[in-house]
Structure 1
Amino acid sequence: MIRNDALEQLPVRGAVPALEEALAVHGTAVLCAPPGTGKTTLVPLVLAGLVGGGPARRVVVAEPRRIAARAAARRMAWLLGESVGERVGFTVRGERTVGPRTVVEVVTTGVLLQRLQRDQELPGVDVVVLDECHERHLDADTVAAFLLDVRAALRPELRLVAASATTDAAGWAELLGGAPVVAAQGVSYPVETVWAPPARPVRPPHGMRVDPAQLTHVASVVRRALAEREGDVLCFLPGVGEIARVAGRLKGVDAEVLQVHGRAPAAVQDAVLAGPGTSGRRVVLTTSVAESSLTVPGVRVVVDSGLAREPRTDHARGLSALTTVRASRAAARQRAGRAGREAPGAAYRCWDEAEEARLAPFPNPEIKVADLTAFALQVACWGDPDASGLALLDAPPAGAMAAAREVLSAVGAVDAEGRATQRGVRLSRLGLHPRLGRALLDGAREVGARRAAEVVALLSEEPPREYGDDLADAWRAARRGNDAYGARWGQEARRLASSVAGAEGDGSGSERRAGSSPGAGAGGDDAVAGLVAALAFPERLARARGAGAFLMVSGTGAEVGEGSRLRSAPWLAVAVADRPAHAASARVRLAAVVDEDTARLAAEHVRAQGEEVRWEGGDVVARRVERLGAVELSARPLRDAPLVRVHEALREGLRREGLGLLRWTRDAEGLRQRLAFLHRVLGAPWPDVSDASLSGHTDEWLEPELSRARRRADLGRIDAGQALQRLLPWAAGEAGRLEEYAPERIRVPSGSRIRVDYGGEQPVLAVKLQEMFGLARTPRVGGPAQVPVLVHLLSPAGRPAAVTADLESFWKEGYRGVRAELRGRYPKHPWPEDPMEVEATRFTKARLRG
């Protein structure tokens, strides 16, 4: 019997007539309704004609998460007074509950994506409701784009509703061709915000790591909320690991502590969503799955850690992972609203109020930050490899798409033009990331469908951290089936084995030895796990380089934790790794031991042989090398290397180590300094002789000397000064003025020729003071620039007595003080009162008299 009393209480009822009119006129609509209004449960029933007396239609509701799909179907069935599988059913990966009478089916967006790829017309479906589209999951964005294609080309009568829990609907309305926006008013109760920052600073999250002090603080806030407020507590945390750790910190509280997330057993999820029982208060620890998709009855208090998880991809290193970020302001509002669904409530925010303005306004759309390999395969199978013709709120980043196409090409999923191959279509229908699909199909041929499926199931949902970092050990732990993960793993492994059986290879699940991978087919867990992981992530194959350090085929360094048996492996197939902020190497989280033959088999597409001539270790190295990407497999000396490449290596050596590899005499250094001075004060045609310029233009001044060189020692025999002569402005006719503009030496009044130092900002003439008697004007260099030299006037012992660029002023003002100081120290030398009236000399008074 239909529960009309419950239906009457759903606030969305008031918006239903406008929604039906919008669909009748436009065929599309955007429904904005706050959480708890019934948009997920009442609207599909009305559109299907199950309540309200409308025409009968078949409705598909797409939810972003499995837990939400199950909950929505159960809620709708309850409203009809039926069991799930009658007129309302659901389908999620690995589970389907529908019957011959089912007219409303709730599916995940991933399931709907698969159906569209199999049959674009969606035969028999009249209405599709895309729920929680504001969350911007990649599958949901893709499904929406495909459905709009279907409406435009095949089925204009197909009705489409984009349902959102937020009021920011303009983008979706435009995307749906100017669809009307229908808003429903929710019944919300006031929610008091309680700011509850930590007493002491905590480290910000990075990677998957959350400061344990932050989790301890969240647990303390939960205890505080239980003491200060009534009702159940809903606590938001970024992931399953943090939920488990906070649960451990809540032992002994006077409440039942429950954990709700996508990996939780269905029975636990159902119990939480059914509402409070008779056992007292509840603390529900959850991830973002409960932000908007689910209603948890009995909740009056929300504790928000302020953290969330988003995907990130390091395309350069081939590493993809979730990362912990600060939740957006929109997410914080959604979370707080859960406390006001049924009565007034309170939201405890575990951060300072001043931080609120610094939060991002909305979460990042997944298409902007995620690995796009699966997306690229979907659009290739759809017939639009670059997604340029699809209606998307945000275009996929070009770099991420290019990286995705490289992966798809490597696994044989797309051809040279980016079109999906037959193998690519097969991969797209496995319900797996294309990497894992490749591992499943190719691994089944090598080790049998059952064992390949079991390892791929481990890779598709990372096992608990307590299983350890050894993939084979994790496999054995999952087989024991002593926990909820083991049960889920077994179900997924059976699904995958069934999906691959009969498709490729012998199809029987029998195991056979692969000739190119000794021991894999008939080998033990280590060999099988290693082969399958290597097929999934060939660029993460890593060769040992000592002390727990490895080098991946991608060129990224990797390190294994202390105490792990993986540290002694010669090769690893790395399944999970992350790179901490500012770290040079990735940390291996999950890997399997492999041998070189397995590595060669899995990464054959990046194996290369060739001649390498380069500057390495301070000299030219010429070798014939075989590599897997960045990993060197073998090398032997290369005799008679091509001279062109040898000279390229020598030039690289000069760029890296500097021009000091050449022979620089004092005259050569002097010439370079003189040229640098003239370039600085006169410019062209006088050449730039800086390190950067000389290293980058060796062909202009270092030939033919460089052409005769073969190794570092030959560079050391090249006279740099002689080579620099080629840079003089001969063609401009100015080369002959070098001595005039920048004389190497200047003749002083004593008759001495004193070397000028051009190494500083101003040329320096260091000369004994007595040798300058009678010279009133400072010497100048630089030709037209007329740059005065900086005269360092020295004592008879050669020590600086005075520095001046203006001799005339020095004789008038400075000389008297210098004379008084030096005549007592050097009485044998002449110190006339008037230096302009005596002959300059470099000798003592005795020598002068003689």
Structure 2
Amino acid sequence: MIRTDALDRLPVRDAVPELLAALDDRGAAVLHSPPGTGKTTLVPLVLAGLVGTGPRRRVLVAEPRRMAVRAAAQRMAWLLGQQPGDAVGFTVRGQRKVGPSTRIEVVTTGVLLQRLQRDPELSGVDAVLMDECHERHLDADTALAFLVDVRATLRPELKLIAASATGDTKAWADLLTVLDGSGPAPVVHSRGQGFGVGVRFVSPPAGIRPAHGTWVDPALLRHVAATVRLALEQHEGDVLCFLPGTGEIARVSGMLDGVDAEVLQLHGRAPAAIQDAVLRGSSGHRRVVLTTSVAESSLTVPGVRVVVDSGLAREPRMDHARGLGSLATIPVSVAGATQRLGRAGREASGVVYRCWAEADDGRRPRFPSPEIKTADLASFALRVSCWGDPSAAGLALLDAPPAGAMAAARDVLMAIGAVDGAGRATERGVRMSRLGLHPRLARALLDGAPAVGERSAAEVVALLSEEPPREYGDDLAAAWRTARRGGDGYSTRWRTETKRLASSLSTPPAPSTAPSASRVSARSAGSGSSAVSGAPVTPTGSINATADDAVVGLITSLAFPERVARARGKRSFLMASGTAAEVREGSGLSDVSWIAIAVADRPASAASARVRIAAVVDEATALKAAAHLLDSREEVLWEDNDVVARKVRRLGAIELSVQALRSPRPGLVREALLDGLRREGLGLLHWSREAEELRRRLAFLHRELGAPWPAMSDPALLERGDEWLEPELSRARRRSDLGRISAGQALRRLMPWTDGAAARLDELAPERIEVPSGSRIRVDYGGEQPVLAVKLQELFGLRETPKVAGVPVLVHLLSPAGRPAAVTADLASFWEQGYRAVRAELRGRYPKHPWPEDPSVAAPSRHTKARHNGASSGEARSR
């Protein structure tokens, strides 16, 4: 019997007529409905004609999480007075409950993507509701993009609704119709509200350190636990507490020991029976439900009247350069906090305790980061390639995939033979995409099964597809044995996934289906890559299925070939990718020679990645699985301050063998020597005083006159090293040979000889300038302005400042003893204004030297008055 009274209490009911009218008129609409208003349950029932008088339709409802799928299906079935599998069914990976009378099927977005790639038309489906679009999960964004494409090209009659609990509706309205050009889709707002929720801010104690990676300050967790205790004391009903991850859930659970309530842990890895028990409600005793973000949306946890929000969320991050994923703990967004708040007002008025200061509320990001911006895009890249749009440029996406992440994803796909050189999916890639696995794991399953057997390959890949609990340890073979023994929720899910994967291996590949009428002509299925990197691994013989290490080592190496790693010290390894990694203290993997790393992360402040789970592997298996990384070449490098020549065989960054080269190729030696000059500087050459002065003169001319005079900076000279250091560089073989190269002689090769400008070097930038006394004074070109340091008396009679290349020199006027007396760039002005003061000071110190009243007309002198006068008389007699 339909529970009409419960349906009538759902606030979204007032928006349903407008939504139906919008769908009849345009076929697509955006539904904005706040948390707790019933959009996930009432709207599909009305669309399917199971409630009300509308036509009967088959409706798909897509949810981002498996728990939300089961909860939504159970809720709708309850409203109809039925069980899941009757009029309302659901499908998640490894579990399906549908029947011949099913009109509404709730699925994960991942399941929807699989169906779209097998059957782009979604035959038999009349309407699709994409729920919780605002969460910006990658699968949801991709599925919606494919659905928009299907409506624009294959099935314009398909009804499509994008449902969001946040106010960013304009972007969704534009997106739903961007390919058909019909203008923004209608936006329907649910004006009904759920029950009221009061907000209380509970500031944490001073000194809480910011979370980073997966680390959260224990003082904050103690604050959260204390807030839960406070909520239990001051309010009736159950408490729902949001924490970033399972580790924090376990720690806070321990801190709540002794409270007068049942403490439950709800997260995506919790067994389905526990999840269902939480969602069924209390059996008479108060409950505290500690949960991750899985309970943010599409769930009603019966009995909850209080929400305690830690203020933290966890998002994936991908280091594309190293091929390592990680998790980042960040402040929950405003949208996420609003979703969490809504859990307290689903059944009655409630309250939310926010474990942060009210002043910090406005600093939070408005929305969560789109997963397409931060995640590993290998699965996405394979899907869009199979869809016929390898670049995703023609898809309706709110955010374009980052170019660097897509390039890294395509490299992975080419290495496993999933796409060809143009990025188009091969037949092998199409089969991989239909396995419901990350492409790396699909490769391991397909290529590993012939070697280890289908069942063993499926078991290990199932183990890799969902990381085992920490208590299973970091040795994958040991974790496999633990899972086989069973007894916990993880092993149950593992068996289900193993069965699914084994079945997919024994099922012949389905023929390729054109994803879109608009793209079928552009897509070529292609064939398996002919490159060694893309070719399937062909085993030389089967592996004994009882040899656990050999089996898990091969499968893990096939999935993550760049993560095969060789030991380089106690607990320390080097991956083929070049990243260092360490196993934990006391790990059984500490003393092995080779491992294949399945899961690792690298904290921002750490020099090495942390190995969380890996498999022991032998060298032969590592070389087979990562054959595309094998390389043998002659290397002539600048290492340890000299040229090192060797022949190296490598697996990626791992040196397998090294032999000294007696007669390395001259070109390689030359490049090594240039590298040494780049690293250690041009000081390795022989620089005489004349060479240094020549370099400064040429630098001055380049600065003042530009081309054709060459630049003399280190980067400029190193860039043209081929020109000015030949032929000496070709004859050099080691560091000591560089020290024999005359830098001055080599520099002259860069001078502009072809147009004759080089012949003017001494004219434009003379090494010395002759002053009135007859002395030839060296010019210093080392500063911003050329400097002429000369005794004051030697310039008597010189009215204008000397110039080089049209630039006045900076004259450093010296006393008879050679000490600085004055500096001027305008000699005429100095004679008129500055000389008197200098003369007054110096004539008392040096009375034997001439100090004429008017130096501009006086005779220059290098000597005392007596010698000066004697020289003058002799000159008069001679005249």
Normalised by the length of structure 1, the TM-score is 0.90
Instruction: Name which of structure 1's ranges 633-642 and 425-434 shifts more when overlaid on structure 2.
Output: 633-642
2:807 to 785, 789, 799: 785
**CA positional deviation for 1:752:** 5.3
1:110 aligns to what?
Answer: 110
1:133 maps to 133
| Matching of residues 827-846 of structure 1 within 5 Å | 830=848, 840-841=861-862
Matches within 5 A, 1:411-430: 411-430=416-435
**Cα pair distance change 1:636/1:158, threshold 3 Å:** same
**2-side partners of 1:544 and 1:791: how far apart?**
68
Q: CA offset at residue 842 of structure 1?
A: 6.9
Aligned counterparts, 1:394-543, within 5 A: 394-501=399-506, 521=544, 524-543=547-566
How big is the shift at 1:140? Answer: 1.8
Q: CA deviation at 1:607?
A: 1.9
Corresponding residue to 2:239 among 233, 239, 243: 233
Q: What is the match of residue 334 of structure 1?
A: 339
1:220 and 2:226 are equivalent in the alignment = yes
Shift of 1:427: 1.3
Q: From the superposition, tell whether residues 678 and 124 of structure 1 become closer, same or farther in structure 2 (CA, over 3 Å).
A: closer
Please tell me whether the aligned partners of residues 762 and 789 of structure 1 are also in contact (alpha carbons under 8 angstroms). Answer: no
Please give the per-residue CA displacement for 1:638-677, whole angstroms capped at 9, x wherever unaligned.
Answer: 4544333333333232222221121111111111122223
What is the match of residue 598 of structure 1? 621
Distance in structure 2 (CA, Å) of the matches to 1:754 and 1:458: 83
Alignment correspondent of 2:195 = 189
Give the alignment of 1:291-690 within 5 angstroms.
Answer: 291-501=296-506, 521=544, 524-690=547-713
Change (3 A) 1:27 1:745: closer
In structure 1, what is the Cα distance between the partners aligned to 2:776 and 2:804? 18
Task: Determine if the alignment matches structure 1 residue 201 to structure 2 residue 220.
Answer: no
Partner of 2:533: none
By how many angstroms is 1:771 displaced? 7.3
The answer as to 2:50 corresponding to 1:50 is yes
Q: State the one-letter code of the partner of 2:640.
A: G
Q: Which residue of 2 aligns with 1:511?
A: none
Q: Which amino acid aligns with 2:812?
A: L
Contact 1:765 1:792 in 2 (8 A): no
Give the 5 Å matches for 1:243-322. Answer: 243-279=249-285, 281-322=286-327
Distance 1:585 1:720 in 2: 43
Amino acid at match of 1:760: G
Aligned pair in 2 of structure 1 residues 564, 175: CA closer, same or farther (>3 Å)?
Answer: same
Distance 1:226 1:712 in 2: 76
| Contact 2:793–2:861, Cα closer than 8 Å, also in 1 | yes
- Residues of 2 paired with 1:742 and 1:311: CA distance? 62
The aligned amino acid for 1:234 is L
Q: Distance in 2 between matches of 1:419 and 1:766?
A: 73
Task: Report the counterpart of residue 534 of structure 2 in structure 1.
Answer: none
Structure 2's unaligned 5+ residue stretches are 178-183, 510-536, 872-879
- Alpha carbon RMSD of aligned pairs, Å? 3.1
Q: Provide the C-alpha distance between the structure 1 equivalents of 2:634 and 2:865, rounded to a whole number of angstroms.
A: 70
**Inter-CA distance 784–751: structure 2 relative to 1 (3 Å threshold):** closer
**Which amino acid letter does the alignment assign opposite residue 64 of structure 2?**
P
* Alpha-carbon distance in 2 for matches of 1:200, 1:139: 40
Do residues 145 (structure 1) and 168 (structure 2) align?
A: no
Q: Distance in 2 between matches of 1:214 and 1:352?
A: 13
C-alpha distance in structure 2 between counterparts of 1:694 and 1:660, whole Å: 12
> How far apart are residue 449 of structure 1 and its match?
2.3
Shift of the 702–294 alpha-carbon distance from structure 1 to 2, 3 Å rule, reads same
User: Structure 1 residues 63, 839: closer, same or farther in 2, change over 3 A?
Assistant: closer
Q: What CA distance in whole angstroms lies between the structure 2 residues aligned with 1:561 and 1:335?
A: 36
- The CA deviation at 1:258 is 1.4
- Give the Cα separation in 2 of the matches to 1:687 and 1:418: 46
Contact 2:93 2:111 in 1 (8 A): yes
Relative to structure 1, the CA distance from residue 792 to residue 643 in structure 2 (aligned partners, 3 Å threshold; closer, same or farther) is farther
1:492 maps to amino acid = E
Distance 1:753 1:71 in 2: 97
Is the deviation greater in 255-264 or in 782-791?
Answer: 782-791
CA spacing shift, 1:763–1:126, aligned 2, 3 Å: closer
* Maintained 8 Å contact 1:792/1:801: yes
Q: CA deviation at 1:482?
A: 4.4
Q: CA deviation at 1:230?
A: 3.2
* 1:813 maps to amino acid: A
Structure 1 position 831, deviation (Å) = 5.6
Distance in 1 (alpha carbons) for counterparts of 2:116 and 2:751: 73
Secondary structure of 2:590 counterpart: helix
Shift of 1:403: 1.8
Distance change >3 Å, CA 741–CA 175, structure 1 → 2: closer
- Offset at residue 210 of structure 1 (A): 2.3
Shift of 1:93: 0.9
Take 1:152 and 1:649, find their aligned partners in 2: how far apart are those partners? Answer: 58
Question: Which amino acid is the alignment partner of residue 691 of structure 2?
Answer: A
Task: Give 1:24 deviation, angstroms.
Answer: 2.8
Name the residue aligned to 2:522.
Answer: none
Deviation, 1:469, is: 2.8
CA distance in 1, matches of 2:155, 2:801: 92
Pairing 1:711-722 to 2, within 5 Å after superposition: 711-722=734-745
Say if 1:413 and 1:740 are closer, same or farther in 2 by CA, change over 3 A: closer
Shift of residue 722 of structure 1?
Answer: 0.9
Q: Does the aligned pair in 1 maintain the 2:263–2:290 contact within 8 Å?
A: yes
Shift of residue 117 of structure 1? 2.1
CA distance in 1, matches of 2:449, 2:620: 18
Separation of aligned partners in 1, 2:695 and 2:137: 63
Which residue of structure 2 aligns with residue 509 of structure 1?
none
Name whichever of 570-579 and 514-523 sits farther off: 514-523
The change in CA–CA distance for 1:417 and 1:699 in structure 2 (over 3 A counts) is closer
Q: Residue 90 of structure 1 aligns to which amino acid in structure 2?
A: F
Contact 1:678-1:782 within 8 A present in 2 as well: no
CA distance in 1, matches of 2:204, 2:842: 69
CA distances 1:809-837 after superposition (whole Å, capped 9, x unpaired):
665223544565x66xxxxx946666978
1:99 and 1:778 map into 2 onto residues whose CA distance is: 106
- Structure with bigger RCO (C-alpha 8 Å, 6+ apart): 2
Percentage identity across paired residues of the two chains: 65
The counterpart of 1:757, out of the listed 763, 780, 787, is 780
Letter in 1 for 2:806: P
Structure 1 residues 790 and 348 mapped into 2: Cα distance closer, same or farther (>3 Å)? farther
Q: Measured at CA, do residues 847 and 130 of structure 1 come closer, stay the same or move farther in structure 2, by a change above 3 Å?
A: closer
> CA separation in 2, counterparts of 1:330 and 1:403?
31
Q: CA deviation at 1:839?
A: 7.8
Q: Which residue of 1 aligns with 2:34?
A: 34
Could you say what secondary structure the match of 1:182 adopts? strand
CA distance in 2, matches of 1:652, 1:772: 49
Q: Structure 1 residues 679, 340: closer, same or farther in 2, change over 3 A?
A: same
Say whether 1:814 aligns with 2:838.
Answer: yes
SS of the aligned residue for 1:558 comes to strand
The aligned residue for residue 743 of structure 1 is: 766
Counterpart residue identity of residue 117, structure 1: Q
Matched-pair contact (CA < 8 Å) for 1:128–1:161: yes
Shift of 1:720: 0.8
- How far off is 1:170 after superposition? 2.3
Task: Establish whether residue 804 from structure 1 lines up as the match of residue 828 from structure 2.
Answer: no
Paired with 2:772 and 2:588, the residues of 1 have a C-alpha distance of: 82
CA 1:684–1:115 in structure 2 vs 1: closer, same or farther (change >3 Å)? Answer: closer
> Secondary structure in 2 aligned to 1:354?
helix
